[in-house]
Structure 1
Amino acid sequence: MQAPVSPARIVEAPVSQKNPENPENSAPARPDGQKPVSRSHTGPMHPACDMLKNVRFAGTLVPHSFHRHIRRESGTTDFEGVGIMSDILYHYRPAEIRDRKTGRITGYRQRFRGDKFQISYRQYAEHYGIST
């Protein structure tokens, strides 16, 4: 059973503006006169979502489009290819340089040395457990 969330932890969603030209996309008026709440979230935040709002994820991220475009000849998603492409994307994504005292971003740097990222097919095969 889920524990109740205290009112202090409930984050009010941004208020959407009523658009007379497109009433379907505007938030419904509330009979009690309070501000309308966004349609995307109308209740208290789930505790797991609340905990994750402050987590900064690092490492490879997989864009959804990779699953649509990186395919085998049979038409199925090539998951090894998706993993390798997301790893390449990670290495080309600039790393943030932060001030140690303030935590503010002061610049960016590339994640690899030299003029381009270099890794062998054998290294990728070992990393992803792919037989060559």
Structure 2
Amino acid sequence: MPNHTHSLRHQVLRSASALVIGLAALGGASHVLAAGKAGNTEYQQQIAACKNGSSTEDRATCLREAGAAQQAAARGTLTDPGATQLKENALRRCEGLPQSDRIDCEKRVNGQGRTDGSVADGGILRETVTIVPAK
């Protein structure tokens, strides 16, 4: 009989372990499912904006970008860059300019000069004035 008790205890422990693992997996799956539903709602809102013309892009581009964003979100590769990353990206775009233009570009990225417009209006105009003495 001792073997039977040992076997029964082993089986109960194994079942309990499986239950704990199953509950942990279910908890993780429900979190992923909730995130998926939230992502789907956002996707539907983006599609609606594409179709009703409230997007700043043409319809075909808007629909393509919404689909790409949904796929990236499903893979977990869609990120929301912070202000630091956005500034680094803007400064990186200045790198391809000639040195004299690069300096002015970096000044504009760093907030110097005048800014006018908005993304919704079609663009932001950033302007710096550099006085160059006559020769």
TM-score strictly above 0.5 = no
Pick the structure with greater CA Rg. 2
Q: Greater share of helix residues, 1 or 2?
A: 2
Q: TM-score, normalised by structure 2?
A: 0.29
Higher relative contact order, structure no. (Cα contacts within 8 Å, ≥ 6 residues apart): 1
Q: TM-score, normalised by structure 1?
A: 0.30
